[in-house]
Structure 1
Amino acid sequence: MGDGKRFAVLLCAEDSDYVKKRYSGYYGVFVEMLAEEGETWDVYKVANGEFPDDNEIDNFDGFVITESCNDAHGDDVWIYKLIALLNKLDSLNKKVLGICFGHQILSRALGGKTGRAISGWDIGVTAIHLSSSSSKLFSSLKIPTTLSVIECHRDEVRELPPKAEVIAWSEKTGVEMFRYGDHILGIQGHPEYTKDIMLHLIDRLLQRSFIQESYADILKEKLVKVEPDKEAWKKLCTSFLKGRL
């Protein structure tokens, strides 16, 4: 049960027409995964310059930072404003969950480094290996030590912030998950994505010439054959955000 808690989605992405129509935007995708009865969920379109005021921050029990088409190492005005907000949330010990771009921007805000992934694009369903310390952290959840998650990124966390700990890795990406204290968690993959969102994204990447048609066909073929561990990720994300670990 939500116990009247209040959360905010810091939306860093532009909603595609498909996601708007099917899920009421990426905000709807996150609410579908994370919201429980009795909770209030708000959204701030930070990529459009919409941020919570200082006096609003205290009203929230936790924050979720979404994916974005922008680079976390970019110099956009809203990105610097977001970094300042994340530093404030850290100083207030607020629970913060960062996904993909959110994971990378958290690392940057806390003193780490992000950039283009040396291994190039990572698109599809990837096996993530939890470290032994994270297995202990999530032991009450009874989830496997290897989890499949949908990925779609070409940037990565290159260097962790001081005092941060890598808690999961994959063959392609050294920092798949990190924690910072007990209040901040970054996840490179997309636990919130469904396969239909991913198929739609592959088409968008193809239209924008980010990937070749032959690669897009291979990705779609692979995607049909595998399933991400959505329920385990849901349990992990909600338990972290709501202080149930």
Structure 2
Amino acid sequence: MDNGHSMTCPIAIVKTGETFPEINRRFGDFERWIRDGLGTKDVDVIVVDPRNEAAMPDPAVLAGIVVSGSHAMLSDDTGWMRSLAVWLRQAVSRRIPLLGICFGHQILAQAMAGSVEDRVCGAELGTVEVSLTSAAIDDPLFGNLTPTFPAQVVHWQSVVELPERAIVLAHSPLEPYQAIRVGDCAWGVQFHPEMSEAVMHSYIDVLAESVAVNEAVGRTVRQALKDTPVARRILLNFLDYAERDRAANGQDRPFRRLRRT
């Protein structure tokens, strides 16, 4: 029964990994950050884990899909990654609105015949300045953003070859493909719109303790950290697009939302 607080179809958060335990204890995990980034508690969201392949729903029953980041590497080429790539291709072919974040961006690109490799210069970590391309002006997710904006990044691999139909929407000094669109309604962002400045501080702490980031680099990166409100808007824009897409296709409006402030 409709209680006035549900969607006809849910948004699926595809959880491809977990954050570090000490970060989880303070801030929760990837799916919580994404859910919070959607900006309202009045959205029907399900969390599915592709590492349990039996848990993956038919993409056709979903209003939209957000694929999380992960500490896993695509070069691991595991069975669940291959299965997820097939599932993502099905979602794209059915025109289900889709947003891949970091690892999600990379596996979307690879699933659509792009390629991903280790970064030659090592990890990129901290707050970077992202610049939009001219193609972003009329894009549903990027068209209302400022031409440049800060965003949080933490990744060891990058997309190095784009899918044939991909359009570059944003880049940064060390990352030519910070944001792409594949077809009409699938996006990938290498940066983390869901990640706060406080979470990034904690990532630097954890990685410094594991010697993945040396003290001097960690200090420099920490000093450059800042809040990233424009990047966070990507998740709200995606939610709006998913709602408009279903309405435009003659389907029930999927969201009954609280008023945003």
The answer (yes or no) to whether the contact 1:108–1:161 under 8 Å persists in 2 is yes
Among candidates 15, 18, 33, match of residue 14 of structure 1: 18
Matched letter for residue 238 of structure 2: C
> Which residue pairs with 2:134 in the alignment?
132
**Compared CA separation, residues 50 and 188, structure 1 to 2 (3 A):** farther
- Structure 1, 63-72 or 200-209: larger mean CA deviation: 200-209
Deviations 1:11-48 (A, max 9, x none): 01124334433444211110000153542111112235
Within 2, Cα distance between the matches of 1:211 and 1:37? Answer: 36
State the Cα deviation string for residues 123-167 of structure 1 (Å, max 9, x = none). Answer: 111111111121122499632111211111121110100111111
Displacement, 1:89?
Answer: 1.0
Shift of the alpha carbon at 1:49? 4.5
Amino acid at match of 2:69: E
- Is residue 141–residue 238 contact of structure 2 (8 Å, CA) maintained in 1? no
Count of aligned pairs between the two proteins: 241
Q: TM-score, normalised by structure 1?
A: 0.88
Match of 1:238 in 2: 239
SS at match of 1:36: coil
Residue pairs, 1:1-245, within 5 angstroms? 4=7, 5-34=9-38, 36-49=40-53, 51-54=55-58, 57-138=59-140, 142-223=144-225, 226-230=226-230, 231-243=232-244
- Whether the 8 Å contact between 2:18 and 2:70 is mirrored in structure 1 is yes
Structure 2: give runs of 5+ residues left out of the alignment: 246-261
CA contact (8 A) 1:2 1:36 kept: no
Residue identity (%): 23
Using the alignment, how far apart are the partners of 1:131 and 1:102 within structure 2?
Answer: 21
Gaps of 5+ in 1: none
Structure 1 ranges of 4+ moved more than 6 A: none
Q: Over residues 29-83 of structure 1, what are the superposed CA-to-partner deviations in whole Å (9 max), with x where a residue is unaligned?
A: 10000153542111112235563144xx332111111111111233111111111
Q: Which string of whole-angstrom CA distances, capped at 9 and with x for unpartnered residues, describes residues 167-212 of structure 1?
A: 1111110101000111100000001001111111112222332221
> Higher relative contact order by CA 8 Å / sep ≥ 6: 1 or 2?
2
Given the two structures, how large is their TM-score scaled by the length of structure 2? 0.83
Amino acid at match of 2:32: G
1:14 and 1:138 map into 2 onto residues whose CA distance is 29
Distance (Å, rounded) in 2 between the aligned partners of 1:239 and 1:200? 31
Aligned twin of 2:250: none
